[in-house]
Amino acid sequence: MAKKLTQLGRAVAQPASPDKAVLESVPNPHPGTNYVVRFTAPEFTTLCPITGQPDFAHFVIDYVPGRAIVESKSLKLYLNSFRNAAGFHEATTIAIAKRIAQAIKPDYLRIAGYWYPRGGIPIDVFWQTGKVPAGVWLPDTGVSPYRGRG
């Protein structure tokens, strides 16, 4: 966490791939206080590993910070780096979750990946690191089951 931020406040080129993206963190401004941080990415795009066609998802990422929080510009660049990467829905969702967990070591993390239909079937992928810490209010993701999501 003592690293200098390399992206915030600077013009930064879009990373060529998720592996090349730098996910940065900053110190938690309220250490010792349990609270939820939510990132919503309703226009996530990646590529189907079989057809090369675009796949779309609506992600809701909730976490209870430990010592660090995600620097949001770096998260945006990381998520955008998937636009030219190929991956199955399950692999992509879990890779994002694990990368965030590795970067900030949160007290709790949950990701909900609501994927738009492929072949007429929406695929939703959910993952969490453990139990929600006591006393934490974790709201519903706010994304309904598929009915032409929006």
pLDDT of residue 130: 92
Q: Is 70 within a domain?
A: yes
Q: Is 144 within a domain?
A: no
Predicted TM-score (pTM) of the model is 0.92
Q: How many domains does the chain have?
A: 1
Q: Is 64 within a domain?
A: yes
Q: How far apart are CA 6 and CA 29, in angstroms?
A: 19
Q: Is 139 within a domain?
A: no
pLDDT of residue 7: 77
Q: Is 94 within a domain?
A: yes
Q: Is 91 within a domain?
A: yes
Check 48, 62, 107, 140 and give the catalytic one.
48
Count helices and strands (H / E) in the chain.
2, 6
The residue range of the domain holding 111 is 36-128
Q: Is 136 within a domain?
A: no
Question: Catalytic: 48?
Answer: yes
Check 19, 55, 107, 124 and give the catalytic one.
55
pLDDT of residue 119: 80
pLDDT of residue 1: 46
pLDDT of residue 8: 83
pLDDT of residue 145: 73
pLDDT of residue 6: 80
Q: Is 13 within a domain?
A: no
pLDDT of residue 52: 94
- Which residues of the chain are under the pLDDT cut of 50? 1-2
Question: Catalytic: 124?
Answer: no
Q: Please report where in the chains the tokens 């810490």 appear, as a residue.
A: 133
Here the CATH number for the domain that contains residue 54 is 3.30.1130.10
